[in-house]
Amino acid sequence: MNMFTSHSKLRRKRIRHPRFTLGERVSFLDAGLSGTGVVDAMTGDYSIIWIWADGGLGRRMFFQGCGSIVSSLEDQPE
């Protein structure tokens, strides 16, 4: 067995991040900062999400699975 064979058998475990739609209302928690906002953009695998935060906090970027928690508000009763 050579070094190429051993590496080709290794597979990266894929993480399925929660999927959001543009304009969806969400809540977020990251490094002690929490709030709500609207999804503005995301990467193709949903690992990075940009949210326009309410309350003048501006546009913020969140890395899902790296300490950030982003949840849909549309599933929760008002």
Name the residue ranges covered by the structural domains of the chain.
20-72
Q: How far is CA 77 from the centre of its chain?
A: 22
To 5 degrees, how large is the angle CA 69–CA 19–CA 42?
80
3-state secondary structure of 11: coil
pTM of the model: 0.73
Q: What b/e string do you get for 34-73 counting C-beta neighbours within 10 Å, with b at 16 or more?
A: eeebbbeebeeebebbebebeeeeeebebebeeebebeee
The confidence score (pLDDT) of residue 36 equals 96
pLDDT class of 78 with cuts at 50, 70, 90: low
Q: Under CATH, which number does the domain 20-72 receive?
A: 2.30.30
Q: What is the pLDDT of residues 1-48, one digit of tens each?
A: 455 555 556 666 666 678 899 999 999 998 888 999 999 999 988 889
